[in-house]
Amino acid sequence: MVNITINNRKIAAREGETIMEAARRNNIYIPSLCWLDGVHSVGSCRICIVEVEGARTLQASCIVPVQDGMVIRTNTEKVRKARKLLYELILSDHPRECLSCARNQSCELQKLGEMINAEGDRFVGERSKTAIDDSSPSIIRDMSKCVLCRRCVTVCNEIQGIGVLNVQNRGFDTVIGPAPGLALDTVNCTYCGQCTTICPVGALQEKDSTEAVWNALFDKRKRVIVQTAPAVRAALGEEFGYEPGTLVTGKMVTALRELGFDDVFDTNFAADLTIIEEGSELLERLTAALSGKQAVLPMITSCSPGWIKYVEHTWPDELDHLSSCKSPHMMLGALTKSYYAQKLGIDPKDIFVVSVMPCTAKKFEITRPELANDGLPNVDAVLTTRELGRMIKEAGIDFESLEDSRFDSPMGASTGAADIFGTTGGVMEAALRTVYELVTGRELPFEDLHVKPIQGLGRIKTAELSIEDPLPEYSHFGGTILRIAVTSGLTGARELMEEVAAGSSPYHFIEVMGCPGGCISGGGQPRPVDDAIREKRLEAIYSEDEGKVLRKSHENPDIRKLYEEFLGSPLGHKSHELLHTHYVKRGIYNQLID
């Protein structure tokens, strides 16, 4: 315990914490810009300066640790003057396009200006040149708006372990980005978009798809069909001021109808379908391995397009480990333009499929040539959760007052297993609920069907599941111990992949989600995100699951109907054509290899 005084208040601070942390814990708010709790404290913006008695200069409170007897003042004349000066200097090299900036009203620089009562243009001078990098289908970089806080550098290098973004040049010429002259689409950016969730201003953002979607909605000839990912319903409310962790499934569906979508389907339906296809694929691989045949194990999940792009760049020789299943929204898109088009009796060319996703990498995924059937992309546009929030506001819809409504048939019903796809550990748990029951005829032997050891925000989580007394047709599984691992975020993925590449991975099945925490905190989700918010969204996802009567994918009656009416059998001919895909070997400069 360290005794300090902040603004004449005696405070018992913790050993080793910074002045900023001690202040926040005691509800003293020191204005800051670059600091991001638990993620980034480098003191680059200096906004959080305070007076420390005995110190020669003002101190950046986010990097200075507390010391016994420290006397700190956060709101003196000297501090206020210096803070304002620093702010105005930052602003002197920032474009004044607030009204037309997508971050208007959600910009941290703007909020800070309001808080410290900034005045007009005291400093006028040269501005950084605008250099917009819109080479990627997912993320736009506008370095004229960058305030050089370096949060994205920390997230890209330390949290995701990629290092596409770093500080280039120096002084006034400083920019954050790939090596000079390289655009995002010529490096190994995974498009995970974690940088877009922590950028305080409009320098890093998802590429806008709202215009394309409005155009489709206004086009009388198009049947515009929307689907929403499991994680969207657990976070969209935050865009409208709801507490993190508030489920807004029913209002979201109503809002989508009011926006003018012709059908509102649920990606969860396709998540159930993924479990059937991916579970069958796992059983096929395990059966082959157990009978001494060639089989590539561990099998690794393929729902997360940021993870897929990462593995293509980093481990191009290990692509056979990936499940061949398309991600759920691509499956639903493919079925919309085949199964559902047939039902409606319309030409698939006249269908426009929109996916609302917690993800920026999905915007890239839909451009992959492998993910098209009959020359048509499976999905035509991807909106992030944030973009959907914007569209609802733009349309003048009062979200809070909306009634609840339900997804449309025939691709709207889902089980609880599909809901948990939105969080780390969820795809694995959903798969186990089905695979274990298929093999043994009994329910997964975990309380409330939750595989506790693989839940939560831990980096790498593992479990073993022993298979006893299988059904006669699966007798070869008797006595098998199924070893599984789950990770979210790409540093954990790297660790697991190193084992896979070395041939020493002890696992049969691995789930990887590219973003820390999984889709609940994907690159397209509302800001801000921290672990407390992740936990709340995660709880919301599990409560959606527990609220369902059916909680195992194979119990979804509409999935059964889909196989009976259209697909035939899992891994059958039609499934392969519509629901499965292959991957591409890439170098770290995004060049295609062989």
Tokens 């795809």 belong to residue: 427
Sign of the alpha-carbon dihedral angle for 470, 474, 475, 481: negative
Smallest distance, Å, CB 181 to another protein? 7
Nearer to another protein, 157 or 367 (CB): 157
d(CA 525, CA 301): 21
What's the DSSP call for residue 506?
Answer: -
H helices present in 93-209, as ranges: 108-115, 151-154, 194-198
Give the Cα-Cα-Cα angle 125, 128, 133 (nearest 5 degrees). 160
Tokens 């009976």 belong to residue: 564
Interacting residues with another protein between 338 and 367 (CB under 8 A): none
d(CA 283, CA 418): 19
Which of these segments, 171-179, 369-377, 412-420, 558-566, binds another protein (CB under 8 A)?
Answer: 171-179
Smallest distance, Å, CB 169 to another protein? 5
Which of these segments, 163-171, 280-288, 305-313, 356-364, binds another protein (CB under 8 A)?
Answer: 163-171
Nearer to another protein, 177 or 245 (CB): 177
Note whether 491 binds another protein by CB under 8 A. no
Helices and strands counted in the chain (H then E): 19, 20
Note whether 129 binds another protein by CB under 8 A. no
Query: What would the x/- binding string for another protein be over residues 187 to 206, using CB under 8 A?
Result: x-------------------
Nearer to another protein, 138 or 228 (CB): 138
Nearer to another protein, 67 or 174 (CB): 174
Q: Identify the residue among 169, 215, 342, 591 touching another protein (CB under 8 A).
A: 169
Sign of the alpha-carbon dihedral angle for 581, 582, 586, 591: negative
Q: Identify the residue among 7, 75, 92, 168 touching another protein (CB under 8 A).
A: 168
Q: Are 537 and 235 in contact (CB under 8 A)?
A: yes
Please, which contacts does 169-173 make with residues 24 or more away whose CB atoms are closer than 8 Å?
Answer: 172/126, 172/128
Q: Would you please indicate which residues are annotated as catalytic (active-site) residues? A: 278, 281, 303, 323, 362, 365, 370, 519
Note whether 166 binds another protein by CB under 8 A. yes
Which of these segments, 20-28, 71-79, 177-185, 418-426, binds another protein (CB under 8 A)?
Answer: 177-185
φ, ψ (nearest 5 deg) of residue 18: -85, 165
Nearer to another protein, 165 or 513 (CB): 165
How many residues would you count in the chain? 594
Q: Identify the residue among 179, 395, 471, 592 touching another protein (CB under 8 A).
A: 179
d(CA 50, CA 337): 60
Of 259, 43, 238, 255, give the one whose Cα is nearest residue 154. Answer: 43
Nearer to another protein, 132 or 167 (CB): 167
Smallest distance, Å, CB 162 to another protein? 7
Beta-carbon contacts of residue 237 (< 8 Å; ≥ 6 apart)? 243, 246, 247, 248, 251
Q: Identify the residue among 70, 72, 91, 162 touching another protein (CB under 8 A).
A: 162
Q: Identify the residue among 115, 167, 346, 471 touching another protein (CB under 8 A).
A: 167
d(CA 403, CA 54): 60
Which of these segments, 2-10, 32-40, 179-187, 227-235, binds another protein (CB under 8 A)?
Answer: 179-187
Which of these segments, 158-166, 277-285, 482-490, 557-565, binds another protein (CB under 8 A)?
Answer: 158-166
Helix axes 426-440, 267-290, angle to 10 degrees: 60
Q: Identify the residue among 157, 210, 367, 543 touching another protein (CB under 8 A).
A: 157
Q: Identify the residue among 13, 23, 90, 165 touching another protein (CB under 8 A).
A: 165
Q: How many chain residues interact with another protein (CB under 8 A)?
A: 18
Q: Identify the residue among 31, 43, 178, 237 touching another protein (CB under 8 A).
A: 178
d(CA 391, CA 508): 43
d(CA 476, CA 167): 56
Interacting residues with another protein between 574 and 593 (CB under 8 A): 588
Smallest distance, Å, CB 178 to another protein? 5
Nearer to another protein, 10 or 170 (CB): 170
For 530, left (φ over 0), alpha (ψ -120 to 50), or beta? beta
Beta-carbon contacts of residue 250 (< 8 Å; ≥ 6 apart)? 402, 403, 404, 405, 406
Q: Give, in order, the Cα–Cα distances in Å from 371 to each of 325, 330, 568.
A: 11, 7, 21
Note whether 180 binds another protein by CB under 8 A. yes
Which of these segments, 168-176, 250-258, 332-340, 431-439, binds another protein (CB under 8 A)?
Answer: 168-176
Q: Identify the residue among 10, 56, 96, 170 touching another protein (CB under 8 A).
A: 170
Residues making contact with another protein (CB under 8 A): 157, 162-170, 177-182, 187, 588
